[in-house]
Amino acid sequence: MKLYSAPGFASLADHIAMLEAGIQFDLVKVDLETKRVEGGGHYPDINPTGYVPALMFDDGEVMTENVAILTWIADRAAELAPQGHLGRYRLIEMLSFIATEIHKRFPTYLALPENVREPTRQQLLHWFSFLAGRLDRGYLFGETFTVADAYLFQLAWGATHLGFPLPEPFDDYLARIEKRPAVQTALRREGLA
């Protein structure tokens, strides 16, 4: 199994989650500018959208999109998903929210000239503030780290590196998650630590 990833991009969430789940995989770095794959190859041949992540199974089947891959990981590691009769659906709900309200705004924000970024910046801060209210017990679903936390961590971590002033308790949340062994390993493997 191969996880196609670009250092520091949203694929970091999948990298962290796969390590947390103990899933064996090879990490393959993708240069998003040239669309070249580490070791050779043209990334759009693997994922025609050109986006990371992509997860290639041993039979050659490819799965893309964070929501799908993170849900697949949670289905294999129940400890990384919220529990209860609606747990799986609450997870999909949260992953979809993070993908559509936060993740997809960053490419727009970064593509805009600096003098017109403010409305998108305010939208991002609004949704980070909304999620901050869910972190009072430690993580998005209470006291247990889930694959949704890996996704939110990557985006919040990236936002702080872009100078976003995230509300409390994000400082503690990020520091706590960054100490996790799987996170440390992923950051090192991607050359980010």
| CATH code of residue 122 | 1.20.1050.10
List all residues 6 or more positions away from 33 whose beta carbon is below 8 Å from its beta carbon: none
**What is the C-alpha separation between 145 and 158, in angstroms, rounded?**
19
Range of the domain at 107: 82-180
> The dihedral of CA 101, 106, 107, 110: what is its sign?
positive
Secondary structure class of 112 (helix, strand, coil): coil
pLDDT for res 75: 98
Q: In terms of C-beta distances under 8 Å and separation of at least 24 residues, what long-range contacts does 176-179 make, across chains too?
A: 176/138, 177/145, 177/149, 177/150, 177/153, 178/153
Same domain, 30 and 103: no
Give residue 94's pLDDT band: very low, low, confident or very high (50, 70, 90).
Answer: very high
Q: Which residues pair with 62 in a beta bridge?
A: 56
Same domain, 156 and 122: yes
Same domain, 158 and 105: yes
Mean pLDDT of 173-184: 98
pTM over cut 0.85: yes
Same domain, 88 and 126: yes
pLDDT per residue as tens digits for the range 95-128: 999 999 999 999 989 999 999 999 999 999 999 9
Same domain, 95 and 176: yes
